[in-house]
Structure 1
Amino acid sequence: MDTLKPWVALLDEDEDDYIFWQHGFRQWAQHLDLYWFSSVTEFLSATSLGKDKPVALVMDGVVPDGEEMKWLSTLLLHPSCRQACLIMLSAEVAEPQRADFLRLGASDRLQKPIRLDELQLVVSTVSNHIARQTHA
């Protein structure tokens, strides 16, 4: 991927989710590009070939339930992800599980947005994580 703007990778099996997220980034995070990958394998294949790496990964439902910690560990070690904010989405966010993800190195674990006001909040949160990571 050769982009002029910093970019966020959305890892999500559902193309309709991508369209929803794309609206959010165009509306509230125009300084970032959003690229969609339907699987972790597709993302790793695409980013292994290019020089540009994402500034953030937003993951929703692309890893099997119960294996999130394993996949998070794997992604945090991958060269394409080392400098990126990793944010995992879920239908519900339990604080103990969120704390485990943060301890492991994730930037956040957020509730998946389903309404525009929730999307605006989550896109803003992702953008803020990127800004903090960039200035760290």
Structure 2
Amino acid sequence: MNTDKAWIALLDEDEDDFLFWQHGFRSWAGAVELKWFKSAESFLSETATGPKPIAVVLDGVVPSGEEEAWLSTFLANDCCQNTPIYMLTGQFNEDDQQIYLALGATGYLIKPTSGEELQRIVVKVSGSQSTASVGLE
């Protein structure tokens, strides 16, 4: 694993989701590495001593009903200071979207179910620091 490469954290318990996202990053954001974390604790542990991600996609590792508390925890933690955090969800919920964005999330994303949706989201998330890094400029 190249530790000098810009990276994005995907926090999700589902390996199939990771493999799908990994395909997307390899296809449309080759300048950015996708790192997978099965728990919030493992992510916080790794970022306590190592390089910080350029963005975080938060899904599946947060117990249902505790999303707001975990988002606030991430936003206050050194690992995520000035780092875009995207909340990923299976279904759109306007109330959740408003809450997450008001708390400081960068975006509210619906899980991609097709290659086209995945491409759009990968370009958006990986372009949070610099669109030049994914060939958009």
Partners of 1:107 and 1:129 within 8 A in 2: no
Superposition TM-score, scaled by structure 2 size: 0.89
Mapping for residues 67-82 of structure 1, pairs under 5 Å:
67-82=66-81
Aligned twin of 1:106: 105
User: Structure 2 matches for 1:1-136, cutoff 5 A?
Assistant: 3-50=3-50, 52-131=51-130
Runs of 4+ aligned residues of structure 1 deviating over 4 Å after TM superposition are none
CA RMSD, Structure 1 to Structure 2 (Å): 1.6
The question of whether the paired residues in 1 share the 8 Å contact of 2:8 and 2:126 is answered with no
Change (3 A) 1:130 1:95: farther
Compute the TM-score of the two structures, normalised by the length of structure 1: 0.89
CA–CA distance in structure 1, aligned partners of residues 44 and 109 of structure 2? 23
Measure how far apart 1:30 and its partner are.
Answer: 1.2
- Are 2:58 and 2:88, in contact at CA under 8 Å, matched by a contact in 1? yes
Structure 2 distance, partners of 1:18, 1:36, is 7
Which residue is equivalent to 2:134? Answer: none
Q: Deviations over 1:48-104 (max 9, x none)?
A: 121x10011111111011110100000001101112110011111222321211111
User: % of aligned pairs identical?
Assistant: 50
How far residue 2 of structure 1 moved from its aligned partner, in angstroms, is 6.7
State the distance in 2 between where 1:34 and 1:71 align: 21
Instruction: Return 5+ residue gaps in structure 1 as ranges.
Output: none
Q: Equivalents in 2 of 1:78, 1:119: separation in Å? A: 28
SS in 1 for 2:130: helix
Read off the aligned partner of 1:120 and give its amino acid letter.
Q
